[in-house]
Amino acid sequence: MTEIRINRERLWRDLMELKEIGGYDDEATGLRGVRRLALTDEDARARRLVVSWMRQAGLKVRVDRIGNVYGERAGEEPGLPCMLMGSHIDTVATGGAFDGTLGVLGGIEVIRTLNEAGVRTRRPIEIGFFTEEEGVRFGTDMLGSAVTAGRLTLEYAHNLTDAGGATVKDELVRIGFDGDAPEIRPVPHAYIECHIEQGPILATAGVDIGIVTGVQSISWQRLTLRGEAAHAGTTPIESRADAGLAAAEVIVEIRRMCDSGEYGQLRGTVGDLRLLPGQTNVIPSEATLTVDLRNPDDTLMTAAEKHLAEHVDALSDRHRVTAAWERMARTAVIPFHEGIQDVIAETADALGLPYVRAMSGAGHDAQEIAAICPAAMVFVAGENGGISHTPREYSSPSACGNGIDVLANAILRLAGEV
């Protein structure tokens, strides 16, 4: 069996070039970060660049109706379902150069390597990048992959709005990525996504490669607490209905739940909180906060959500505020396909690359595609504890190269060398 090796320098150069689209100087870290929210002008420029790279690699490009972009390399047996690779190129507001892009640019590098080696495969090979994976602009993450896998309808996705009221559909049209390919894509033979780990497990184990066993349960909710505005100087402490104080107690309780161990490996984050009317000398009448919970155990996740809801009820009574929950997203633990995991493991063994198997702490497009075909992921170790969603996000050229080498050879095995 042919073992192929990708061109690491070329991959790194592409990663660094794409990083400059949406690049900004981050004050908090003093580093160069990336701000390339989905369907913005920056995302559009990045999409055009990546499409040009796809075409240079000989891929036939199509755009579907939710803006997902696919590049196809023909197989020798055209009727067979394709082997799909992919990820995303949108970022959070304080992002780095690797999250998502590694899997997409790495996929293009796999194609170039196959082309240069003159390797043909039985199955077609496709690379996809999916719209609004981060969910930070339109509020629903894995949006493009959820639509193509049929979990969300095109109409629902098109009508989502950003903070300024712009819809997904309008923005797709505006940036010229309102494609005409069907949003429900043909079922692939299998899907492999290479992605940075965004956590410390691989670095702690001293390996570059992770084989992902699944994605932990994710719960996103928005909580609105309503009290009453009143004068900060004259209103006695005991007669207040301070929505901001109630919100602060929710944040502290979420951390306590994580620290307690009562809910296993629960992780909880309040990433956004807004107070109304938001004035120095007025007791807040309203507080709106997001609650992000993650858990590798479905039962403990349900228990954590139940406890938090009860705790909020109790503190709402105590502070004379009302509480309203809005569900933004909820996924159960999603296990990846064991057969595909094993192919990845055999590939890593053949390349002499040690690996560990671990569950993903973050959500990924692979969890959506897993609903329609066998899917798994390759993780690549990050430095600085694997920190991500910050300009400090960093994976070394050799770790990235090792990860894409594993991807390349696993894809080749599954696509069937002719």
| Interaction residues for a copy of itself, span 24-83 (CB under 8 A) | 28-29
Chosen residue from 150, 182, 271, 339 binding a copy of itself by CB under 8 A: 271
Cβ 200 to a copy of itself shortest distance, Å:
6
Contact 358, 210 (CB under 8 A): yes
Q: Which is nearer to a copy of itself, 189 or 392 (CB)?
A: 392
Nearer Cβ to a copy of itself (213/269):
269
Q: Which residues have a Cβ under 8 Å from the Cβ of 412 and sit 6 or more positions away?
A: 2, 4, 114, 119, 121
**Alpha-carbon torsion (254, 255, 260, 264), positive or negative:** positive
The one among 283, 380, 412, 414 contacting a copy of itself by CB under 8 A: 283
Q: Which of 267, 307, 311, 320 binds a copy of itself (CB under 8 A)?
A: 267
Residue 109 annotated as part of some ligand binding site: no
The least distance separating a copy of itself from the CB of residue 379, rounded to whole angstroms, comes to 10
Relative to beta strand 83-87, strand 190-196 is: parallel
Q: Does 280 bind a copy of itself (CB under 8 A)?
A: yes
Cβ-Cβ contacts under 8 Å for 66 (sequence gap 6 or more) = 131, 143, 144, 147, 148, 154, 157, 158, 168, 172, 183
Please say which residue, 226 or 413, places its beta carbon nearer to a copy of itself.
226
The separation between the first and the last C-alpha atoms of the chain, rounded to the nearest angstrom, is 10
Q: How many CB atoms lie within 10 A of CB 118?
A: 7
Give me the least distance between CB of 40 and a copy of itself, in Å please. 14
Considering beta carbons, is residue 166 or 229 the nearer one to a copy of itself?
Answer: 229
Sign, CA torsion 9/353/296/151: positive
Look at the alpha carbons of 270, 86, 165, 183 in this order and tell me if their dihedral is positive or negative: negative
**Could you say which residues in the range 174-203 bind a copy of itself, by CB under 8 A?**
197-200
314 forms part of the interface with a copy of itself (CB under 8 A): no
Binding mask 204-243 for a copy of itself (x = CB under 8 A): ------------x-x-x-----x-xxxxxxxxxx-x--x-
Please list every residue from 346 through 365 that binds a copy of itself, using CB under 8 A.
360-363
Closer residue to a copy of itself (CB): 64 or 368: 368
Least CB distance to a copy of itself at residue 418 (A): 39
Which segments of 298-396 does DSSP mark as H helices, in order? 298-319, 338-351, 365-369
Residue 290 binding a copy of itself, by CB under 8 A: yes
Cα distance between residue 252 and residue 231, in whole Å: 25
**CA 389 to chain CA mean position, Å:** 10
Structure-block tokens of residue 211: 């084989």
381 binds a copy of itself (CB under 8 A): no
Least CB distance to a copy of itself at residue 231 (A): 4
**From CA 22, how far away is CA 191, in angstroms rounded?**
28
Closest approach, Cβ 197 to a copy of itself, in A, equals 7
Four-residue CA torsion sign, 314, 315, 318, 320: negative
Q: Minimum distance between the CB of residue 172 and a copy of itself, rounded to whole angstroms?
A: 21
Total binding residues for a copy of itself by CB under 8 A?
73
Is 99 annotated in a binding site? The answer is yes
Q: Is 389 annotated as a binding residue?
A: yes
- Residue 410 to residues 59, 85, 101, 120, 403: CA-CA distances in angstroms? 19, 11, 19, 15, 11
Interacting residues with a copy of itself between 131 and 150 (CB under 8 A): 134-136, 139, 141
Binding residues: 88, 99, 134, 195, 389
Q: Residues at the annotated binding site for Zn(2+)?
A: 88, 99, 134, 195, 389
